[in-house]
Amino acid sequence: MASSLADTTKWPPHFGFGHAATEQEIKLWDIDIRPDGLGLPSGSGTVAQGKAVYVVKCAACHGMEGRELPGVKLPAPALVSDTLAGSRPKTIGNYWPYATTVFDYIRRTMPYNLPGSLNDNEVYSLTAYLLSANQIISPNTIINAQTLPAVVMPAKKLYVRDDRKGGKEVK
């Protein structure tokens, strides 16, 4: 790397700019969820509760059933499909490798017009409803911080890490 871009060794170990972050400050923004469940909050949700929330807060953009309908262009992506479908539309059931991502994404950015407005139980419920509608879990499963990371997604086995490395090969 050009020397103009590299740090010099003459710098002090610390400049002393910035301030220590408090536990409260970190807690306020630390909203991410990992596949192993790290970061999931307390609370829980059911498929039935999720369906009720979905109809009120999600259906306007994703359609009443969350499915792709012939000749209808929804403002938002389809969320539900038969996981056995040959065409493999990119829905949660067909394409998402981890169930925890569903919770994380809904909580951080949905509904589109009122992002971050759902409480944790609503997010658990919506996650339960969408996993059930995609035939990943049975309709009576309760979704919480313990059960969500245990859900095995059908698409996980399809995922392979990028092995492009430059050089002559086209990959």
Partner 1 sequence: MEEKDKKSSGNISRRALLGGALATAILPVSSAFAKYVQVGAPIDDPTKKLGPGPGKLGKRSPFEQPLKKPSDISSRTPLQDLYSTITPADLHFERHHAGVPTIDPAKYELLIHGMVDKPMKFTLHDLKRFPSVTRTCFLECAGNFRSGSEQLTPQDILGLTSQSEWTGIMLSTLLREVGVQPKASWFLAEGGDAAVMTRSIPVSKAWDDAMIVYAQNGEAIRPEQGYPARLLLPGWEGNMNIKWLRRLEFADEPWFTREETSKYTYPVKDRIRYFSFEMDARSIITYPVFPQKVERGWIEIRGIAWSGRGKVLKVEVSTDAGKSWNTANLQEPVLSKAHTYFRYLWYWNGDATEIASRVIDETGYTQPTLKQLAEARGTAIGGYHMNPITAWQIRPDGSVLFYPEKV
**Contacts with partner 1, residue ranges (CB under 8 A):** 1, 4-5, 7, 11, 13-15, 17-21, 25-26, 29-36, 90, 92, 95-98, 100-101, 104-105, 108-109, 112, 115-116, 155, 158-162, 164, 166-171
Residue with smaller CB distance to partner 1, 139 or 156: 156
What does the block give as tokens for 115? 């992002």
Least Cβ distance, residue 138 to partner 1 (angstroms): 23
Instruction: Check if the beta carbon of residue 78 is closer than 8 Å to that of residue 62.
Output: yes
| Side chain identity at residue 96, one-letter code | W
Least Cβ distance, residue 132 to partner 1 (angstroms): 18
Residue with smaller CB distance to partner 1, 87 or 138: 87
| Side chain identity at residue 168, one-letter code | K
For the beta carbon of residue 154, count every other beta carbon within 10 angstroms. Answer: 16
Residue with smaller CB distance to partner 1, 138 or 162: 162
Is 50 exposed, middle or buried (CB count within 10 Å of its CB: 0-12, 13-18, 19+)? buried
